[in-house]
Amino acid sequence: MTQARVWTVTSTTPTEEDARKIARTVVAERLAAGAEVTGPAMSVFWHLNELGEGQEWRVTLKTSAAVRDELAERILELHPWAGGPEITATPVEWCIDSYAEWVEKFTAAPE
């Protein structure tokens, strides 16, 4: 099996501005080729041994295999929630070659 060229990395934040900040920063730093911010969504979760609920905003980032782990580390640095915010990554099993090339081009060091 071939390793996926393109990955989708997601995280949730407490505010739209937090999600936008992560999106703007990592795209500007070429850790992601593009980003989408969606929300708000109502979430139900366990936190500090209590059932909680609240609004969250999702940031979805398109990145390459080459910088996926570096992107996750940068999200941790930028995220307002200390101690382990949600950061997940899903390989894109298939996409057209031109899309994969676009993602790889814009997550590479500038020439």
Q: In the structure, what pLDDT confidence band is assigned to residue 1 with cuts at 50, 70 and 90?
A: very low
> What pLDDT does 2 receive?
59
Residue 35 · residue 59 · CB < 8 Å: yes
Q: Residues 87-95: what's their mean pLDDT?
A: 97
How far is it, in rounded angstroms, from Cα 101 to Cα 105? 6
Does the global pTM surpass 0.85?
yes
Tens of pLDDT along 8-27?
A: 999 999 999 999 999 999 99
> What pLDDT does 38 receive?
98
Burial of 100 (0-12, 13-18, 19+ CB in 10 A): middle
**Which structural domains are found in the chain, ordered by start?**
14-106 (3.30.70.120)
37 pLDDT more than 50: yes
Q: In the structure, what pLDDT confidence band is assigned to residue 84 with cuts at 50, 70 and 90?
A: confident
